[in-house]
Amino acid sequence: MTSEDLPNGFTGFSQRRPGFVSAGDALRRSRAERDALHVDTGSRGFRNTELQAARSGWQVPNVVKPEQGPGPEKSLWGKSNDFFPADMRKYLRVPEGGESGPQFDYEALADIPEVDKRWAWIEVDLGAIHHNTLAVKQLLEPGVKLMAVVKADAYGHGAVRCARSALSAGADQLGVATVDEAIELRDAGIGAPILVLAEPPSATIPLLLAYRIMPSVYTAEFAVQYAEAADSIGLRAPYHLKVNTGMNRIGVRFDEVIEFMRRVSFHRALELVGTFTHFATADAPDTMEFNIQATHFVETIAEMRAYGIDPGIVHAANSSAIIRYPEVHFDMVRLGISMYGYYTCPETYGVIDLIPAMSVHARITQVKTVPVGEGVSYGLLHRSGGFSKICTIPLGYADGYQRGLSDRIDVIMDGSKHPQVGTICMDQAMFEVDLRTRRSTGKLDPQIGDEVLVVGAAGNAVVTIDEMADLLDTVPYEICLGFGRSRLARIFTSSR
Ligand SMILES: *Cc1c(COP(=O)(O)O)cnc(C)c1O
């Protein structure tokens, strides 16, 4: 198992940077410290847990004697996020404070791990990105280039890290939606060719030239301004021509390409590096519309060549088309959603082995027994049967856990599924553990701090982004982005 270091210092839960403290570690450590405090009175003279508790305003638990020997992994009062006054010392510059009161060490404060500050996060498995990219590459004839599409922060997975993984797996180019997305990659030191998949506003022309970012072009006005700006400082103006073959979103209409090229190609600085189109129905069961678009595109390319125009790198296929239609791979393919591990349609299931890169995690923040008949969450729409514990997790629709999933999806705890119950709130959601469920490990006993999978797989249990997309009548793209572009912390792991 390998893992790269992160700006925020986390390397995932399976492998931790020295000093990283998970809730579980914190529990063990705090218990050890609690034991130690009986002898170590410290400079502030704390003598025992009762006194500590009194000073910090805590409730004194009924049981204060530490457990003997290796006890169960549960805290004495079911809480795994204990924090003791002695812990404050490492966040102070002068431990004793002084005349003017305590001096906080803001660097130490900033080092408190994100996942310990908020018990909800996503994990992105860069090994899966690498695997998926390689799997797609194996579908390509030798010499066909692969563009990794990392727009919208790599569909919420983190553009820079995903771009690096894809490039290390053999991707040749990167595709983005905006100039700022391209600049982020350049600022991270990525040198691969980058194509903006739409024509940007002309105010970005200096940025395109400065950062060597290739625009898509389909208006003569932009083409000429871009060319003249480049020419004025002795640079070339490389671009890809976008052809509209039927999707009717952006591009020069297929039957106007020759005329368009005549209008712009007089300019010496303009350099046609590639010609591409985009399919509207590559994921649809019916192939007729796809075939019409493919035919228009092939004819357009042939016509360009007949007129002596070199179309450069010819590309058309998105994930669906890459997997379903090898005949449209041309010189390059543009891989998006399947790089992140998602199938776009049943027709692609058997063809390729994809691994979802994103999982969504949380820790339980409260556990309660709700008397039979009482309601749970806004609207009290879920009613307790009385044989369950209602557990709260601290993520909600502000984190991409969409409200429309309320009462329709499961979470995974201890390798088994439990139903999410009640309305999903903005910042929190509840799920129910049926206490009558017996498992090989004994009775289920959820505790504060226990880890829950909102999306992911454990044992035989799996909750997928595809499942959520189906329930919400949308596509996995939107669900990934919902979690990935939210305020959830993002942790990169690499399992393969
Ligand atoms: C987003 C995008 C892609 C990638 O599509 P997927 O379906 O995610 O593979 C390819 N080409 C263009 C022009 C795009 O905008």
pLDDT tens, residue by residue, 435-469: 887 665 566 789 999 999 999 999 899 999 999 99
Q: What is the mean pLDDT of residues 390-398?
A: 98
User: Mutate which of 214, 277, 278 to test ligand 1's pocket (most atoms within 8 Å of Cβ)?
Assistant: 278
Residue nearest atom 4 of ligand 1, based on CA coordinates = 336
Segment among 250-259, 359-368, 382-391 with least mean pLDDT:
382-391
Instruction: Determine the pLDDT at residue 386.
Output: 86
Q: How far is the CA of 227 from the centre of ligand 1 (A)?
A: 27
What's phi and psi for 477, nearest 5 deg?
-50, -50
Residue nearest atom 14 of ligand 1, based on CA coordinates = 197
Q: How far is the CA of 351 from the centre of ligand 1 (A)?
A: 19
| Residues 113 and 9: beta-carbon distance below 8 Å | yes
Closest among 314, 319, 317 to 257, alpha carbons compared: 314
Instruction: Determine the pLDDT at residue 122.
Output: 97
Tokens of 486: 């939210």
Q: What is the DSSP string of 379-428?
A: GG-EE--SSEEEEEES--GGGT--GGGTTT-EEEETTEEEEEES---SS-
Q: What percent of the chain has pLDDT over 70?
A: 81
Instruction: Determine the pLDDT at residue 440.
Output: 56
Residue nearest atom 8 of ligand 1, based on CA coordinates = 336
Q: How far is the CA of 228 from the centre of ligand 1 (A)?
A: 30
Instruction: Determine the pLDDT at residue 95.
Output: 60
Instruction: Determine the pLDDT at residue 72.
Output: 35
pLDDT tens string 257-267: 999 999 998 99
First vs last C-alpha separation in the chain: 7
Residue 320 CB partners (closer than 8 Å, separation 6+) = 279, 282, 283, 344, 345, 348
The minimum-distance atom of ligand 1 relative to the CA of 198 is: 13
Burial class (CB in 10 A: 0-12, 13-18, 19+), 59: exposed
Q: How far is the CA of 36 from the centre of ligand 1 (A)?
A: 58
Closest among 474, 248, 442, 494 to 342, alpha carbons compared: 474
Tokens 């249990």 found at: 461
pLDDT tens string 144-172: 999 999 999 999 999 999 999 999 999 99
Site residues for ligand 1, CB cut-off 6 Å: 149, 151, 197, 278, 318-319, 334-337
| DSSP 8-state assignment for residue 157 | T
Instruction: Determine the pLDDT at residue 443.
Output: 66
Closest among 170, 153, 2, 485 to 162, alpha carbons compared: 153
The minimum-distance atom of ligand 1 relative to the CA of 147 is: 10
Closest among 236, 232, 241, 222 to 271, alpha carbons compared: 236
User: Mutate which of 155, 334, 477 to test ligand 1's pocket (most atoms within 8 Å of Cβ)?
Assistant: 334
Closest among 140, 141, 150 to 340, alpha carbons compared: 150
Q: How far is CA 276 from CA 188, 293, 495, in A?
A: 27, 12, 35
Is pLDDT larger for residue 495 or for residue 195? Answer: 195
Q: Does the pLDDT at position 107 exceed 90?
A: yes
Segment among 18-32, 290-304, 371-385 with least mean pLDDT:
18-32
Residue nearest atom 6 of ligand 1, based on CA coordinates = 336
Q: How far is the CA of 475 from the centre of ligand 1 (A)?
A: 13
Q: How far is the CA of 6 from the centre of ligand 1 (A)?
A: 28
pLDDT tens string 275-320: 999 999 999 999 999 999 999 999 999 999 999 999 999 999 999 9
Catalytic residues: 151, 378
